A and B are shown apart, each in its own frame.
Chain A
């Protein structure tokens, strides 16, 4: 198998996890930057729609590195999907596959399931909740918590910050409650 073929296969967790962890020292060493992604959403607000709100009055240009970083993530997504993509469908566990089939979700070809997240589904109640309400909760919740998976669960825990452990535990509790207790109702809509 050529190297490119190996790269095109889905990467195992023990490759991906350490590479993500390495982002922490790389950003610190190349420019004294603390890893964190959700703050980019705040910088976008501060740059585009500050509306005289004190939370958005700060020198966002000093944090513009963060906007370059997330634009890079977008480009990385493009490159991986167009030049390094795995031609096969996402392999999912039989349990999940069976469960999703009961909600009519049978297409596993994309990383983002088209039967849930598409322009057509946006106009349905289920699609609206998944796309719009879900996004709103991500943006509101991360800022209220002061960080997301990168800022708290990875950067905060790497620096042994207990408030980040509290946040990470709450992320997980929220995720379990939603996925196990509430999402089944949303998916049945």
Chain B
């Protein structure tokens, strides 16, 4: 089996490493996650109010966050490809291309609805729970149920 066959079919958040990592190696992702969660809270990106301001076009803040994040990401990926930068384990960095399907339109609109209602995408849900908003556990469980239900009826949906 090709190592890329065990990926998410939609290619999001995938592990392209050929090497098997032990449990301890996973701690480094925990640390990056902690750093990321702190940024989420400190920049108030996980605030329901910030998301409302964004969708009401009342504040530049979230556009600045997403725009500058994408700019740094584009430059980073460009440099990685240009200089053929390897991973710390010496592997070639692989990023799976995205293939278009209608799900990106229908699913994208549905996620947009959910984003404006809850004021959170999946990442902020975890951070919100961490800040002590315990009821968001229900939102997270409902999001897991939504993912599960998608898996159940996937073949009947237009793609």
Using an 8 Å CB-CB cutoff, how does the interface string of A113-131 with B read, 1 for contact, 0 for none?
1001111011000000111
Give A47-85 interface residues, CB cut-off 8 Å to B: 49, 51, 53, 55-56, 58-59, 62-66, 68-81, 84-85
Give A145-189 interface residues, CB cut-off 8 Å to B: 145-164, 166-180, 182-183, 186
Beta-carbon contact of A133 and B117 below 8 Å: yes
Majority SS at the chain A contact face: helix
Beta-carbon contact of B130 and A74 below 8 Å: yes
Beta-carbon contact of B135 and A33 below 8 Å: no
Using an 8 Å CB-CB cutoff, how does the interface string of B124-159 with A read, 1 for contact, 0 for none?
011111111111101111111111111110100100
Beta-carbon contact of A112 and B131 below 8 Å: yes
Given A21-B71, A34-B14: A137 touches B28 (CB 8 Å cut-off): no
Given A38-B122, A69-B30, A93-B59: A28 touches B114 (CB 8 Å cut-off): no
A182 vs B54: C-alpha distance when bound (angstroms): 16
Beta-carbon contact of B142 and A131 below 8 Å: yes
Does A29 count as interface, using CB distance less than 8 angstroms?
yes
**Which size bracket describes the interface of B in this complex?**
35 or more
Majority SS at the chain B contact face: helix
Given A30-B87, A131-B142, A161-B98: A112 touches B14 (CB 8 Å cut-off): no
Within 8 Å by CB of B88, from A16, A18, A30, A108, lies A30
Within 8 Å by CB of B34, from A22, A76, A161, lies A76
Given A11-B42, A170-B108: A117 touches B76 (CB 8 Å cut-off): no
Beta-carbon contact of B114 and A134 below 8 Å: yes
Within 8 Å by CB of B76, from A10, A15, A24, lies A24
| B1 CB to nearest A CB, Å | 10
Cβ-closest chain A residue relative to B17: A32
A186 vs B46: C-alpha distance when bound (angstroms): 21
Task: List residues of chain A with CB within 8 A of the CB of B49.
Answer: 90, 92, 96, 108, 111, 113
- Which residue numbers of B lie inside 8 Å of A, CB to CB? 6, 8-17, 21, 25-56, 58-62, 64-74, 76-77, 79-80, 85, 87-89, 91, 93-101, 103-123, 125-136, 138-152, 154, 157
